């Protein structure tokens, strides 16, 4: 029985990944500082899997606490989700983002080097591509200058891991996520945005639920068929499963280089208006929305070419956009 450390394991993508890990028999230990997650998620994970993961409330910026943890635990791999992720906030407080997202990563990698722990999976983002010159976006697309400190932490994070892999023989995979949405079928875990949601789908579901008065569609003058921006929305359970595939690739030593990166999306782009229509159809809810100005920093269009991920990770998405939107709505309804 292998033990996997999941940092940020009580967060949105982390919690769904813990469930998938437990479902196939891994022992899971979670580190989370609860800064953007709720301790109840731990019980809800146990309700789904019938097994409570070990949990440690640790702020990974605290190097001493990180060292203490590794003194007491032998782990066979690490999936590292713990990070700040609000783009706008990162522009206002860049140092918090660099300290947390980069500092925590460095502390983990130092322990891995010193204790000869291998197999590291990193949460990266399609934001590293900026507005790609060609669509769909392949892994060959160049990295563009980051639009925000948040985006920069993902680029720098990948660089740090790449250098560490080279110097210290570590094996790592960065997964460049497109837009994760939806919730677990059990409706026991899902997305829990703090305050006013910044991302589209939680804003949509909260508007349908009457918590928000109106959804603002950020711009309809983009160079796209209906003028609204296009993204690749992937069901969070499909995304979670990509982590399992990546982990198994490392554990089975099937990786081709000691640092690899893959696009994790569906391969299909949807515009904001298409999402609104698809949500209304899937849930029979009517959405109150209006068109407003573009949001600063948004790109026109981003969707993945998943050919390499499909082949190398032996992984593909199984769920539809409709299922993802339905599950997001079911989750929202369950919050009452
Ligand atoms: C955003 C981040 C991205 C990050 C990801 C993490 C920015 C510019 N990008 O992606 O770096 O990795 O979140 O979750 O913030 N929209 C509306 N109305 C809303 C909210 C969103 O029209 O109230 C539109 C946006 O303009 C965009 C699309 O919906 O076209 C998706 O937005 P969002 O869910 O915030 O994701 P990204 O911006 O793609």
Q: What are the residues facing 271 on neighbouring strands?
A: 230
Contacts of range 43-46, beta carbons closer than 8 Å, 24 or more positions apart: 44/15, 44/188, 44/189, 45/15, 45/18, 45/19, 45/188, 45/189
- Say what the pLDDT of residue 262 is: 98
Tokens 């720098």 locate to 156
- Say what the pLDDT of residue 336 is: 78
| Residue stretches of the chain with pLDDT short of 50 | none
Quick check: is 311 in a domain? no
Quick check: is 330 in a domain? no
Quick check: is 273 in a domain? no
Contacts of 283 (CB under 8 A, 6+ apart): 208, 325, 326, 329
Which residue is closest in CA terms to ligand 1's atom 26? 218
- SS3 category, 60: coil
- Say what the pLDDT of residue 237 is: 98
Residue 256: burial class (beta carbons within 10 Å; 0-12, 13-18, 19+): exposed
Quick check: is 277 in a domain? no
Q: How far apart are CA 41 and CA 20, in angstroms?
A: 15
User: Separation of 313 CA from ligand 1 center, angstroms?
Assistant: 27
Residue 51 is part of a domain; what is its CATH number?
3.40.50.720
Quick check: is 101 in a domain? yes
User: Separation of 44 CA from ligand 1 center, angstroms?
Assistant: 28
Atom of ligand 1 nearest to the CA of 125: 12
Q: How far apart are CA 278 and CA 270, in angstroms?
A: 10
Quick check: is 206 in a domain? no
Quick check: is 245 in a domain? yes
- Say what the pLDDT of residue 194 is: 87
Which residue is closest in CA terms to ligand 1's atom 38? 298
- Model's pTM, two decimal places? 0.98
Q: How far apart are CA 53 and CA 28, in angstroms?
A: 5
- Say what the pLDDT of residue 219 is: 98
Does residue 222 have an active-site annotation? no
Q: Which domain holds residue 57?
A: 3-180+234-265
- Say what the pLDDT of residue 177 is: 98
Tokens 């580190």 locate to 31
- Say what the pLDDT of residue 266 is: 98
The total number of structural domains that make up the chain: 1
Which residue is closest in CA terms to ligand 1's atom 35? 199
Supply the DSSP symbol for 177: E
User: Separation of 71 CA from ligand 1 center, angstroms?
Assistant: 40
Q: What are the residues facing 260 on neighbouring strands?
A: 173
Token pair of 268, please? 């299909």
Atom of ligand 1 nearest to the CA of 87: 15
Quick check: is 96 in a domain? yes
pLDDT digits (tens, 9 = 90+) for 163-209: 999 999 999 999 999 999 999 999 999 999 989 999 999 999 999 99
Question: How many residues are given for the chain?
Answer: 336
Which residue is closest in CA terms to ligand 1's atom 21? 200
73, 97, 98, 150: which is the annotated catalytic residue?
150
User: Separation of 278 CA from ligand 1 center, angstroms?
Assistant: 17
Alpha helices by DSSP H, the chain? 12-23, 40-49, 63-72, 87-92, 94-97, 103-115, 149-168, 200-208, 236-251, 272-283, 307-312, 321-334
């Amino acid at each position: 029985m292998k033990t996997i450390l999941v940092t940020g394991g009580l967060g949105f993508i982390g919690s769904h990944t813990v469930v998938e890990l437990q479902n196939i028999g891994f022992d899971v230990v979670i580190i989370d500082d609860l800064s953007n997650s709720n301790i109840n998620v731990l019980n809800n994970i146990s309700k789904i899997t019938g097994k409570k993961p070990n949990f440690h409330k640790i702020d990974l910026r605290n190097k001493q606490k990180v060292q203490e943890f590794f003194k007491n635990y032998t782990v066979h791999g690490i999936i590292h989700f713990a990070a700040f992720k609000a783009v706008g906030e990162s522009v206002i407080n860049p140092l918090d983002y660099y300290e947390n997202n980069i500092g925590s990563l460095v502390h983990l990698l130092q322990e891995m080097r010193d204790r000869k722990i291998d197999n590291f999976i990193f949460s990266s983002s399609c934001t590293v591509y900026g507005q790609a010159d060609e669509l769909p976006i392949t892994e060959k697309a160049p990295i563009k200058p980051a639009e925000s400190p948040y985006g920069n932490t993902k680029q720098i994070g990948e660089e740090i891991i790449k250098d560490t892999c080279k110097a210290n023989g570590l094996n790592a995979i960065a997964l460049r996520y497109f837009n994760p949405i939806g919730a677990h079928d059990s409706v026991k875990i899902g997305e829990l945005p703090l305050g006013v949601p910044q991302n589209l789908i939680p804003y949509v579901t909260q508007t349908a639920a009457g918590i928000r008065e109106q959804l603002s569609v950020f711009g309809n003058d983009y160079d796209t068929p209906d003028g609204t921006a296009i993204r690749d929305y992937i069901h969070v359970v499909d995304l979670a499963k990509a982590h399992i595939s990546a982990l198994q690739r490392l554990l089975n030593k099937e990786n081709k280089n000691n640092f690899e990166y893959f696009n994790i999306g569906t391969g299909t782009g949807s515009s904001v208006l298409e999402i609104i229509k698809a949500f209304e159809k899937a849930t029979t809810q009517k959405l109150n929305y209006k068109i407003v100005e573009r949001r600063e920093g948004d790109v026109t269009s981003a969707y993945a070419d998943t050919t390499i991920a499909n082949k190398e990770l032996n992984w593909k998405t199984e769920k539809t956009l409709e299922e993802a939107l339905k599950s997001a709505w079911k989750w929202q309804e369950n919050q009452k």
